[in-house]
Amino acid sequence: MAHAAWSQEFILMALLVERPDHGYGLFRRLQDDPGWGRIWTIQRSELYFLLRKLTARGWARPLLEEKAGGPTRSKVGPTPLGRRRLMEWIRTPVSSPRDLRTAFVAKLYLAMQRGPRFARTLLDRQRQVLRLRLRKEEAAHRVDPVTAVLGVRSAQTQAVLAYLDELETTWLQRVGQRKPARVSTAR
């Protein structure tokens, strides 16, 4: 039985797709990237554990690199399967609000690196998932007074939807990918 992958595994996959590297090189890249430093912290031992896990899944593979005058060192690179899984993961919105602070933030960061169109697609898909969730929550509130007490979930979902709208307005417009404005044909 396959186990669900962790967001951290996909973060490492993204770095490997960008450029195969040694474990320590990946660790340094994570430390040096201002975005990843805010999204995720990792110990080197955890990074090596995750690399072994990615290799066992067939998502990454060791690449031998000869070092002049020294021992052979091994870099790790992505497999075609690993590349596919990464892209599927980035494109798929999260279903649980608790994953918005972790998995979705990582997905959004990766989507933004791939360009405004890619990021907008993820934002649109995530909003669809959240709107459906919000409709279900609000319908439950009308029927069950006990569930209405849990209205904080609806409020959180509404807040995230507002944030996603604001993000699209500010970030995507800043990079020059505005949604097409309606053009008036009247003169």
Q: How confident is the model at residue 52 (pLDDT cuts 50, 70, 90)?
A: very high
How is residue 92 annotated by DSSP? S
pLDDT of residue 124: 94
pLDDT of residue 5: 63
User: Cβ–Cβ contacts within 10 Å for residue 117, how many?
Assistant: 10
Exposed, middle or buried: residue 77 (CB in 10 Å: 0-12, 13-18, 19+)? middle
Four-residue CA torsion sign, 112, 27, 6, 86: positive
pLDDT of residue 2: 46
Q: How confident is the model at residue 1 (pLDDT cuts 50, 70, 90)?
A: very low
pLDDT of residue 145: 67
**CA-based nearest residue to 108, from 47, 51, 26, 35:** 35
CATH architecture of the domain 7-90 equals Orthogonal Bundle (1.10)
| pLDDT tens-digit series, residues 82-103 | 999 999 999 999 988 788 888 9
- Has residue 187 got a pLDDT over 60? no
Q: Exposure string (b/e) for 5-31, b if CB count within 10 Å is 16 or more? A: bebbbbbbbbbbbeebbebeebbeebe
**CA-based nearest residue to 73, from 63, 84, 83:** 63
SS3 content of the chain, % helix, strand, coil (to 5): 70, 5, 25
Q: Residue 62 pairs with which residues in a beta bridge?
A: 76
* Phi, psi (rounded to 5 degrees) for 63: -120, 120
67 or 54: which leads in pLDDT: 54
- Has residue 37 got a pLDDT over 80? no
pLDDT of residue 96: 82
pLDDT of residue 78: 97
Residues 27 and 50: their CA atoms lie apart, in Å, by 12
| pLDDT tens-digit series, residues 131-168 | 998 888 777 776 666 666 667 778 888 888 898 888 88
Average pLDDT, the chain: 83
Residues 136 and 148: their CA atoms lie apart, in Å, by 12
pLDDT of residue 66: 63
Are the C-beta atoms of residues 42 and 27 closer than 8 Å to each other? yes
State the average pLDDT over residues 43-71: 88
Residues 20 and 155: their CA atoms lie apart, in Å, by 42
pLDDT of residue 19: 94
Residues 111 and 87: their CA atoms lie apart, in Å, by 10
